[in-house]
Structures are given as C-alpha cells and as structure tokens.
Structure 1
C-alpha cells in the first residue's frame, strides 16, 4: 500500500460509520413501512383477532436485517402506530390496540423479530438447500416461543377467554403462519445470496 493509499484510507474512514448508520436507518425505516403496509391490508377476521400478513413482514424484518435492526424496525412501526398513524391491523391507531385482545401479538412482534434475527445471524447461508430449511426452522422457533405464546395469553387476558380456549383459538393462525414462514425463508435466502454482507458478521 502506497502513501497515497494510506492518506485516502484515513480520509475515508471517518465517513464510513456515517454511511453505515445511514444505511441502517434506511433499512429500518423501509421494513417498518413494509410491516405497516402488511398490517393494513384487509385480512380474515376470526373475531377478536384477524389473519393478516403482519407476521410475515415482522419475521422478514428479523430474518433479513438481523436481530437488532429487525427489532428496531418493529419498534419503529409500533411507535408510529402509537403516535396516531393508522398502521395497525384494520387501520387502527393510537394506544387502544395495546389494551385490546391482540395486545399479546403486538408485544410478541419485536421479540419474535429479534429472535429469528439472532438465530439467522448464526446460520450458514452458503447453500440455498440448507439455508431455506434452517431459516424456516428459525421462524418456527420465533413463532412458537413468542407469537403463539404471548398472543393467546393476551387473548385470555383481554378477550375474557380461558387460557385453554385462547390457545385452541390460536391454532387457526398456524396454517397461515407456516406458509408465511416458508415465504420468509425463501425471500431471506435470496436477499442474503444477493447481499452477503447485509447481516452483521459473527
């Protein structure tokens, strides 16, 4: 490396963190917007809760961005909705959804995005044949640990259901979530093959 190269590196290095921060902020905002769009698309009403594309976007944020940025994307989406923009399911907004029967699902979303991102960051992603099933399993774990645990507990609390009845009600969401998790695995694998440096190095 010549003296000119060293000088150029010194001049560029202070700007590198700024570029990374700007990129991270743009990705977080983009996925927060994606979650909002998937939330307001009309779903299938099942009474106290609805089947929507919301969980697909939440899981995709974690699987594509990684744990921390995926978590922040979901938190940004929730903050925008709490501030009054109609980005929650059915076009609702404000703090009311956090006191309704779907509160457990809302609380589970940032945690699920973080968990799937945490797992995906540590998975080998060199081959599509292994990456897709591994990310699919990561999504199932995140769904099982948070979405399909906190969600029914929220229903039991706010919808005046028994805990057993709430978990039985939640079974209606599993077929759709299996399909959405497979889509997340396929899309995330394609994104990481196209942009291998997108996730933090471990």
Structure 2
C-alpha cells in the first residue's frame, strides 16, 4: 500500500511528553522525518544542538524571521522564541517522506494558516494532576517558570477541539505508535472526533 507524503503537526501543553514521543519516533521510525526547531532558550541537560533543537541567539532568530526562513514561530511562555525552519520541511515533503512537527499551540495555528492540508494531532495528558507531576518531576524549571508554563497549559488544553485528533499520552510506546499511524493515514476530508 502506498501512502502520500504529508505533514503531521503534534502539539499539546507543556510537559505532556511531546519531546518524549518525538524521541521514540526518531529511534523506532526513521522513515518519519522530524523537524528540528530553532529556539533562543538555553539547552537543558542532555540536549544536543542540531538534534533536539538548533540553539540560536535572539539576533539570529530575528534574522530568520525577517528573511522568511521560518514556517512558524512564537514566543513561548512569555520567554524564549521557538520556530520551525521552512526549507527542510518543504524539501522532505517534496521528496515524498512523511514529516512530523513537534510544536506549541501558537505554532500549530500558524501552520494551519499556511499549510491547511497538514494533519493536526493534539497530545493530551491522562489528567491535570499527571501533567503537573511531570512538569515538577523533570526538574528543569524553577517555581516561577513552572507557574508560567502551567498557566499556558490551562489555555492550551482548552484548544484540543481545534485539532483533527487527540492522543492521550498515558503510555509512551502506545501513544507514539498511534501518532506514527496518523502520519501514514491519508488526509481526512473532514475533522475526526
């Protein structure tokens, strides 16, 4: 069975596990190309420039925006800038490979404007308490940053209905395999429940 190449956009609230799912897909499904975002935030422990993100200065990020090099971009949690380089996405789709963007809600909305044929997947936590536990448990943000991220997460959870499908991240392997199956499914003609 042949499938046509398409862009799948994965978004969801902070600490829901988007990065964990992306890492699983990268390791177990190399046929699915994952975009590497640019960001102005500093690397977290274990993050590698060019693998997890392209870490750039504010000045370089602004140059990329001005030159139209980003498919989408946003200031996230009122702090760091994040964006998706346009060129690599267009090249991969033209080559016929399925592509996956792991981005925030603001970015997903921008991609919907520029690439309405993309398929949008919302990653949800099993519960609010679990989301808080994951954020606190990763220990990468101070109390002020956690509070800002949780405020944003409340707003992001309310946007799930904007997406084509919702996957609950209650078990990484299952959720990631479900996500990969959506990258191979023909683009639906109407919204999915």
Higher relative contact order (CA 8 A, sep 6+): 2
State whether TM-score is above 0.5: no
TM-score normalised to structure 1 length: 0.27
Q: Which has the higher helix share?
A: 1
TM-score normalised to structure 2 length: 0.27
Say which one has the larger Rg.
Answer: 1
